[in-house]
Chain A
């Protein structure tokens, strides 16, 4: 259908972003194709050590799912704090990622968790990382005849600790910060820090991630350096949420808080 209708049509799942934009006449489509009618896209399953989440699964379903709570509590906790309950009840994970709104909580956390997006097109299917799916503000790498089928999130091993924190003043978060650490005794062996909302796309920094590896005591001292590297990579923008300077400061505050929360 999408191939047939071309630019006049858009895929639609929860509608919490798309319908709002259409209401404000920012987007115009003659047809909306409801992907919620496609069976199997609304499932949450455990498969080969990964959590498979269909793209029409709502935030509310993720927030309440026993499977998610048990295997990936950080995801359930993040989802609990997405927008408000009305948005969570109709908004979907797939819709959230495909709309690529820069203040997406899920995109930030999923990037840190190493999630992969499953994409189905006319030509066949493929799997891409979140950073390859979301390419800019409101931009994805999806071709006009491609559909995000779902995401696959590897269940973290026992040694991994994760935290997602956000700072929110307005309707959308000012900052989202996800931190996933692989911990071995007093040492962190690998680390992924991702900051979202402060700029167009969720960002990580190889430099910051490497600073976050080593003994816990040493990392604690280096947290300001890691924050600086992360802020430099994210390159926050001045907007109504706050100045770039303030957002860089928030990255410092929340990296420190995420670090202690992840290890607690």
Chain B
């Protein structure tokens, strides 16, 4: 429970309009794509057509001879650079070297006067390949005669951020393994009153940010400057510092507005490639991927899960066991951490005394998988929350009551060694159930369910910030957190305005320029409000402390005599606003005070996770029994966010996440046929449309101020995604009596399951 349970908020906990709303809807917001530097050239990428092949030779002479082409860069032109990068392990060459590992992998880049010229030159690059046997699924990658994707040992990525060893590079295709265990699973399953067991598949999906990857690089002998659509500029800075072997101070990452991330823009993507292009071409270079190329850059890990769950005669969950195999694609990216997190997240927010979860991820000749909103949780919540419903049915309990009876309780250490549970699942589930009309009669072909999830947020507490209080009382926040659309440019000023007692309108944000803004580890894992929010709060208070000292100096009194009031100080009859403190201190209406804060894994942030990201969702669906098509009748989201700094933005995150989860439940799946991704285009990859939105939507927040963040806030914005596929699968079962253990639940899959059931009689 947070010490600062305050409720009389002036700015915080108010749904102020988002800061970036007007410029974005009027088309005036600047993204990297809008940027043009003097002398800037444009790059286009030649991609492998083979899934797995040796590169025998690359002849770029015809392409380089074309008018308007500055240079062609290949993996063989990188002498002087360290061309392998990677956050977990350095397994990823910025352009293919010696061999290609998936169809779509960058093999060469043309740098030219304009994009069209660069594009037209691509077909004049002659690459000779010798095709190798390829593997596309974990089962194929595990086969005895499977070809090895990576032959060499890797250097560890220095910014790993997770506890276990990385398994990659040990002579197999295994990229990562992870295991958690407590209690005695075998014994528990033997003694169980009821057991459910099944195999589940969660598909490869693409996060589909509206803005595909884009970066502009300007590299000279001393410095690397990159403008990028990256979520985590400081992480990317680290990889570039290593690629170019430069001091941190010589690498500058600048991130303007980002057109959506959803995890897909976490960590380094195209930045080393575009930097190498600029280094070779000796001029600024822009690389703007198409949506189709972005789909060849990253995706979520698909997961094959075998799981069983047991209950005793009293309806208490006594054991869960799972074996998960994830398909991580050609390079590790951030997937080793996804493996670790999805292992943990199998437990769900339930107190289960006997647990054994084994997880591994395999390299395959497919698009590399990495972070994706929910971060491994949705993959295992499909089996996890499906089995809660299946088990409830088996022992004749109402699935909602069954959840209430088994959900982790506030303060319960349901996951040994981790922070005690900081959410209120009972209230979350009750709110969701009430919102969708739990227990009320339903028409035939309709199904109604609730589900929940609780993730050990991967938010690592390493963050700093500076708050500049200007002599007129206005404020600039210097933050390394990136505005991805999640609302950090609105929420952080709300916190500063609350603390300093100044109007929200007087607070501005400068963000994500590694040369200017203090270090922030990432803009991911729903961490910004909790960690950067705390940093802003503490920096504001530190500025206040400085201004108290300055006020004492100005008023010629002792520091103890100065009392802080809203927006300034008082000492006896004298009252000074911050602007007066600063301008009197400097004896000019100018100057500033800089408040600072450093957050590390210590104090209230010493226990991990920093917070449990918790939400419940409820749905009502109907199924067209002839076609198998699902219609979303109702959706309820309940974000257990501690305190919403901006409730409208928090709810917006929840409906966004739930809609994304609904997309996976209903339509989304990257499909491989042989070596090729066959629906990797804006036309063929089916996303939710406005017409797919549930007919009725209720958005709720549970605000018990039980988080460690500012005023009891904690992270949100991902959790509503996690339970949606399971919710839809459970609702289909209740609507038409078929259990589908695979997402998406396409009409054909439902029709087929119903047909099989009928055929069996």
Contact = CB atoms under 8 A, between A and B. Distances in A.
A60 B273 CA distance: 44
Interface of A: 20, 24-25, 167, 169-172, 240, 242-243, 246, 249-250, 253
Interface stretch (B312-320, B646-654, B677-685): B677-685
Nearest to B686: A170
A169 B747 contact: yes
B667 A169 contact: yes
Contacts of A243: 748
Which of B629, B667, B747 has most A Cβ within 10 Å?
A: B747
Interface in B656-674: 667, 671
B746 interface: yes
A250 to B, nearest CB: 7
Interface magnitude class on chain B: 10 to 19
B656 to A, nearest CB: 21
What 8 A-B pairs are tightest by C-beta distance, nearest first?
A246-B748, A253-B626, A171-B683, A170-B686, A242-B748, A240-B679, A253-B627, A240-B684
A246 B748 CA distance: 7
Contacts of B211: none
Contacts of A172: 683
Contacts of A25: 119
A184 B292 CA distance: 54
Interface string B288-323: 000010000000000000000000000000000000
A24 B627 CA distance: 33
Contacts of A167: 627, 629
Interface of B: 119, 292, 626-627, 629, 667, 671, 678-679, 681, 683-684, 686, 746-748, 751-752
Contacts, number: 33
A122 B612 CA distance: 73
Given A24-B292, A171-B684, A249 B751 contact: yes
Nearest to A175: B627
B686 A169 contact: yes
Given A240-B671, A249-B751, A169 B684 contact: no
A46 to B, nearest CB: 33
A94 to B, nearest CB: 22
Nearest to A253: B626
B681 A24 contact: yes
A240 B292 contact: no
A171 B684 CA distance: 7
Given A24-B681, A170-B684, 14 more contacts: A167-B627, A167-B629, A169-B667, A169-B686, A169-B746, A170-B683, A170-B686, A171-B683, A172-B683, A240-B679, A242-B747, A249-B751, A250-B627, A253-B627
A115 B626 CA distance: 32
Contact of B686 (A171, A246, A249, A250): A171
A171 B679 CA distance: 11
A240 B748 contact: no
Contacts of A246: 748, 751-752
22 contacts: A24-B681, A25-B119, A167-B627, A167-B629, A169-B629, A169-B686, A169-B747, A170-B667, A170-B683, A170-B686, A171-B683, A171-B684, A171-B686, A242-B747, A242-B748, A243-B748, A246-B748, A246-B751, A246-B752, A249-B751, A250-B627, A253-B626
Which of B627, B671, B681, B746 has most A Cβ within 10 Å?
A: B627
B665 to A, nearest CB: 14
Nearest to B690: A84
Contacts of A253: 626-627
Contacts of A170: 667, 683-684, 686
A29 to B, nearest CB: 14
A32 B184 CA distance: 72
A145 to B, nearest CB: 29
A63 B161 CA distance: 57
A33 B226 CA distance: 42
A240 B678 CA distance: 9
Nearest to A84: B689
B122 to A, nearest CB: 10
Nearest to A20: B683
Contacts of A171: 683-684, 686
Contacts of B683: 20, 170-172
Nearest to A249: B751
A249 B750 CA distance: 13
B682 to A, nearest CB: 8
Nearest to B123: A25
Contacts of B626: 253
A130 to B, nearest CB: 25
B633 to A, nearest CB: 19
A253 B629 CA distance: 12
Nearest to B626: A253
A48 to B, nearest CB: 39
A246 B626 CA distance: 11
Contacts of B292: 24
A243 B678 CA distance: 15
Contacts of A24: 292, 681
Contacts of B686: 169-171
Nearest to A170: B686
A171 B683 CA distance: 6
B309 to A, nearest CB: 32
Nearest to B122: A25
A249 B747 CA distance: 12
A25 B667 CA distance: 27
A167 B629 CA distance: 10
A242 B629 CA distance: 13
A250 B624 CA distance: 12
